[in-house]
Amino acid sequence: MNLEELHRREYGRILATLIRVVRDIGDAEDALQEAFAAAMVQWPKEGPPRNPVAWLITAARNKAIDQLRRRTLAEQKRQEIAELAAQEVDAPVPLDSLRLIFTCCHPSLAPEAQVALTLRTVCGLTTEEIARAFLVPPATLAQRIVRAKAKIKGAHIPYEVPEDDALAERLAAVLTVVYLVFNEGYTASFGGDLIRKELCSEAIRLARMLCELLPAERECTGLLALMLLHDARRDTRTDANGEIVTLEDQDRSRWDRARIAEGAALAERALRGGPPGEYALQAAIAALHATAAKAADTDWRQIAELYAVLAGIYPSPVIELNRAVAVAMAEGCERGLALLAAIDLPGYYLLPAARADLLRRLGRNAEAADAYRAALALVTNDAERRFLSRRLAEVSAVVH
């Protein structure tokens, strides 16, 4: 394995363990950076060490000791150095990765800082990479991370996995960050494609890690399932010109069957053994879509039922909107339209867009055109705008 690959795979894990030993994120980052720099010089000359990860940890720990020495020689520091020197660590401790992610996703940090810090430390992405993915200037992103680290230090945000009574709430915050990272990569309407794909695979990697370390937490499994099932379809969602292809029209032969099989099995596991969670239910819905051989084979009745369960636990007009569409497909567009009429979602373009689609299917083209215009007045994403404009042109052509 070359150094770059090693950095990619091990950076976050090594850093997590170093932070526990050094007890400061910034110091640990600096030390690890120096260790990698030293490796870049030494390994080509002397040949790679037998255990590269252990080499990096030891080198970084020694760099951290040097840093402490350079900074001050006060009695307290001398004691810290002695403690640090006494700690023999030669492999990353998996629990440390969990500690790090809970610290990065602490609710007392701003959500955008949680995302940035997680990608920077746990995933080892560079500040430039994260800035590019989120379309913010690198300086802004760097400052976001600096501020977050300063708050962790100043407010003593612990480097611990929360205790049982707080775990559910804190884990929900972690999963939100992971899903945010995924969605940022998945809604591929702007920005470089490569970095966005990378965000999706990082999110999946984080979820795999969480599943491994917290096997009893079914929502981790649910989220992993959901992301795998979405990711399996990623390449078919747009055509060669970057135009949106609806789920109905996607080329199902190009879906990633292995991912779908894994996602569907995980979704099933996430649903079992207790009341279903939000991600498990969404994953189950995604699995029903992904396992239908043709669009016409989709089990819309069961999807509508799952949305009803979801709305019962997490009432939201957006879920009601999705349920209305599923009901329309299962029981007829008229039923769906009646449900849509009862939903209040001001400013949300998908509501008139869903109405427009059902009216179009019913052949009520003049009304459909009005609804497409209402949706176009609200949409902000360019690809979505072009899609709605195409549909508007289609229904208008039939009217005139």
Partner 1 sequence: MQYMLLCCIDESRWTALATGERDQVMKEYDDFVQGIVKSGHYRAGGRLDGVATSTTLRERNGRLVTTDGPFAETKEQLGGYHLIECRDLDEALAIARRIPTLRVGGAVEVRPVLGASHD
162, 191, 317, 332: residue in contact with partner 1 (rule CB under 8 A): 162
Shorter beta-carbon distance to partner 1: residue 108 or 140: 108
Shorter beta-carbon distance to partner 1: residue 105 or 324: 105
Taking the C-alpha atoms of residue 372 and residue 47, their distance in angstroms, rounded to an integer, is 64
Judged by CB under 8 A, does residue 44 bind partner 1? no
Judged by CB under 8 A, does residue 160 bind partner 1? yes
Strands (E), the chain: none
Judged by CB under 8 A, does residue 158 bind partner 1? yes
122, 133, 157, 303: residue in contact with partner 1 (rule CB under 8 A): 157
Taking the C-alpha atoms of residue 316 and residue 33, their distance in angstroms, rounded to an integer, is 45
Q: What H or E segment, with its residue span, contains residue 18?
A: helix 3-22
Question: Please, what sign has the CA dihedral across residues 361, 363, 364, 366?
Answer: positive
* 105 in Cβ contact with 171 (< 8 Å): no
CA distances from 12 to 9, 126, 202, 388 (A): 8, 12, 11, 42
Minimum distance of partner 1 from residue 22's CB (angstroms): 15
Q: Which amino acid is residue 233, in one-letter code? A: R
DSSP state of 236: G
Stretch binding partner 1 (CB under 8 A), from 24-32, 151-159, 192-200, 244-252: 151-159
Minimum distance of partner 1 from residue 156's CB (angstroms): 4
Minimum distance of partner 1 from residue 155's CB (angstroms): 5
Shorter beta-carbon distance to partner 1: residue 43 or 159: 159
Tell how far CA 97 is from the center of its chain: 17
37, 155, 194, 393: residue in contact with partner 1 (rule CB under 8 A): 155
Minimum distance of partner 1 from residue 166's CB (angstroms): 7
Shorter beta-carbon distance to partner 1: residue 80 or 305: 80
Taking the C-alpha atoms of residue 5 and residue 21, their distance in angstroms, rounded to an integer, is 24
Taking the C-alpha atoms of residue 15 and residue 377, their distance in angstroms, rounded to an integer, is 48
Task: Please return the burial class of 329, using the count of CB atoms within 10 Å of its CB with bins 0-12, 13-18 and 19+.
Answer: buried
Minimum distance of partner 1 from residue 83's CB (angstroms): 13
Taking the C-alpha atoms of residue 187 and residue 58, their distance in angstroms, rounded to an integer, is 41
Site for partner 1 in 188-227 (CB under 8 A): none
156, 216, 253, 341: residue in contact with partner 1 (rule CB under 8 A): 156
Residues with Cβ within 8 Å of 169's Cβ and at least 6 positions away in sequence, in order, are none
Site for partner 1 in 83-142 (CB under 8 A): 106, 108
Shorter beta-carbon distance to partner 1: residue 158 or 192: 158
Judged by CB under 8 A, does residue 150 bind partner 1? no
47, 74, 75, 154: residue in contact with partner 1 (rule CB under 8 A): 154
User: Which positions touch partner 1 (CB under 8 A)?
Assistant: 106, 108, 154-158, 160, 162, 166
